[in-house]
Structure 1
């Protein structure tokens, strides 16, 4: 064995001189350590990205209670706007890592999150802030959504194929926890004055809920994220390196000639599109469906459980997909999503709060299976493509699925305006999920499939 084979990774500035994760000697002599360190740093940054992306979903349910005068349709549009931006920006991010490298992309895109966070900090303190300004800030929150399509392809480049299901599931699952964290922390952190009521953090707002007045500090929600975003972004700049796999924009377009790019995109729309879309609209959905009853539940008390369940199941399903194969796991996850979507539809026209526990249980089960499918589809993609194209497909599928919050926001707004209920949406989702189960079974999961993965 030559000295070159035994040597671990060495860096020339930002870019590593060589990267051979499939080489056992290279992997043992520093490759593994650098890959896992990169995963930790990138995952922390991705978690902050998801928190910034879904911050709007946690703020929007409180805006009417502190004096903002918006219709239900306007509120759903606010919740949907980060999804529109996230999906659009992911179409840009999917090309960035092979051009600029992990270090520059992760650090600079994380620091860009300071723009919407500072904007929301000031906007929520003034109920006269115009709707267009809030829509702009909601769109800018989508900067966090865009990051996924450069961070995840980057991670796929650092790990050997045998570990990619686990590594990608860990990163995406913990990153997805940012959704649950921001929806869980927001109701708590807005309930008191930060830093002893320091003047530069703003005054409280009067919240009226069920006829009861209380003081809250809604600006605390973005305020607590700002220092973490700054620290993690700077850390990424100082500690990350970039894998020497490069391609210009034109070279990366070759992924669109494969049928697997389009089939995996549909499967990921089912899993992550469902996860992200429901996570963004779950608080408003609870408010619209069950908010009219006496003693109605506080949406933010329950909403964070969905993303939490989906994120944890994604982490767990990664190693399972590495062991049993992504296509098999996707098959069973899809079947679970079909059943759960029908169950949710049966609980969206309540006559009392008695059906609320079943509604929540069915929603959480739907999040669970979506999380499992998120992990298993990310195992399938690296098995179908070489490392560079696999990273590109991961970025593209993630970009399209990131429109989930936008599409779900629009669909629920339309459904409530047209029918006064969300039931048609969930029956439509069940049909879409069933189509994808059949697609995955035929192309990848059945015995004798041409491309088992």
Structure 2
């Protein structure tokens, strides 16, 4: 009887024009093994590729800005900081509507749309860098449009979560997130090489935008040809509303600003910091090509993120998060002490350690969210709720990822303010040390102390 029921549910999987799938149930073992897994993995692969390009475009100005003076642009340091940070401000804001776009338009359809939108900032950058006399407002608008890539993370994660069963969702979402995050490192590595390779006396900065256009077209085509829409993918507005009323959402959002916000903020500003503090090390020439070591920060942070999740699985997310904040504070103090000595390699080592700690913190804090809401559900098991803890936790993941991305705007602006007011970045870094210590204490006080509100669990 059980086998017959499973077969019946599997048979209900129907394919409609426009690559719509009806009857999807990833928790149905029969459906999953008889073809569901292959469908999910195919959608995941193209989702990762599209999200990767989203991060590339999101962080494109971070490496382009430091080249603009050599191309004839006259920009103040404050203007450069705004060009770097405005995309993060827009991207973080777009994550809220992008989260609900999948249910409204379909995962495949929205991946096509959101990937195609990346052509606007890519081509816009390629055109505007040829006009050194272009008004600053035009540069700012085009840089802001790079935020379209930042929104892709939310819709991509929302889409993939519908395809995978609960037992495999963590791996799929982790792979999706890591594939996107590494886009920042790839952009910062490839762009200096491409714009200088074969160039004689002038940089070909327009290639920083043009090189991604064919890949974006491939992403749109791949989504159209191979991805699917799930009719069962619905927005959980009730779950979102319930999650917003949960105090732990806001606590975790604050912690995520500290971890992911630091990662994306420092990733964006790292090329400029190197150019400002150690201009002689801004690029290294290999033949006719130039390489910037700024990509190492985003690369290390991206690769460290899955390990943060694994450590959280083994030891608990809270203890790993507290250790990550302590490591972030220690690395930042070491960085402050290294700055007056003028040693680039010590500066780079301290920043790589900081990026590694942010990546581990990203994985740990993201892993804490479902555990916290599960503990809240267990603690209130005897109460009547209209929305279950799992639904609240799923909604909280999207909301927290959106709020955390605002750190990508705050970090450059704090550094900008420090430089404008004191002439150095030391004050900003001391502020970051204080924030990391405070966030570590909050995480320890709330989540390492058994509480009735969390079913006496240490998450």
Q: Deviation string for 1:11-56 (max 9, x for gaps)?
A: 4435433343344444333333322222211111110000001000
Q: How many residues align?
A: 429
- State the partner residue of 2:329: 338
* Aligned-partner Cα distance in 1 for 2:447–2:28: 28
Q: Which runs of 5+ in 2 are unaligned?
A: 285-290, 375-388
Q: Deviation string for 1:62-96 (max 9, x for gaps)?
A: 00011101111111111111111111111221222
- State the partner residue of 1:224: 211
* Aligned-partner Cα distance in 1 for 2:303–2:75: 34
* Aligned-partner Cα distance in 2 for 1:321–1:102: 30
- State the partner residue of 1:375: 363
Contact 2:239 2:392 in 1 (8 A): no
Q: Deviation string for 1:325-382 (max 9, x for gaps)?
A: 433432322222121122222233x253xx2211111111111111112122222223
Q: Does 1:364 align with 2:352?
A: yes
After the TM superposition, which residues 202-213 of structure 1 pair with which residues of structure 2 at under 5 Å, given as runs? none
- Given candidates 341, 347, 366, the residue that maps to 2:338 is 347
Judging changes above 3 Å, is the alpha-carbon distance between structure 1 residues 418 and 220 closer, same or farther for their aligned structure 2 residues?
same
Q: TM-score, normalised by structure 1?
A: 0.88
After the TM superposition, which residues 232-271 of structure 1 pair with which residues of structure 2 at under 5 Å, given as runs? 232-243=219-230, 244-247=232-235, 252-271=240-259
* Aligned-partner Cα distance in 1 for 2:181–2:160: 15
- State the partner residue of 1:117: 122
* Aligned-partner Cα distance in 1 for 2:30–2:357: 38
* Aligned-partner Cα distance in 2 for 1:280–1:16: 39
C-alpha deviation, 1:57, in angstroms: 0.6
C-alpha deviation, 1:150, in angstroms: 1.5
Q: TM-score, normalised by structure 2?
A: 0.86
Q: Does 1:139 align with 2:140?
A: no
Q: Secondary structure at the match of 1:20?
A: coil
Contact 2:239 2:395 in 1 (8 A): no
Aligned residues: CA RMSD: 2.4
Q: Does 1:423 align with 2:408?
A: no
Instruction: State which drifts further: 86-95 or 176-185.
Output: 86-95
Q: Secondary structure at the match of 2:130?
A: coil
- State the partner residue of 1:97: 102
- State the partner residue of 2:297: 306
* Aligned-partner Cα distance in 2 for 1:387–1:26: 23
Contact 2:54 2:152 in 1 (8 A): yes
C-alpha deviation, 1:309, in angstroms: 0.3
Contact 1:310 1:371 in 2 (8 A): yes
Judging changes above 3 Å, is the alpha-carbon distance between structure 1 residues 344 and 18 closer, same or farther for their aligned structure 2 residues?
farther
* Aligned-partner Cα distance in 2 for 1:404–1:91: 15
RCO greater where, 1 or 2, for CA within 8 Å and sep 6 or more? 1
Judging changes above 3 Å, is the alpha-carbon distance between structure 1 residues 167 and 439 closer, same or farther for their aligned structure 2 residues?
farther
Instruction: State which drifts further: 35-44 or 434-443.
Output: 434-443
* Aligned-partner Cα distance in 2 for 1:432–1:216: 39
Instruction: State which drifts further: 371-380 or 159-168.
Output: 159-168
Q: Does 1:278 align with 2:263?
A: no
Q: Does 1:390 align with 2:388?
A: no
C-alpha deviation, 1:104, in angstroms: 2.1
Contact 1:165 1:378 in 2 (8 A): no
C-alpha deviation, 1:387, in angstroms: 5.3
* Aligned-partner Cα distance in 1 for 2:421–2:367: 40
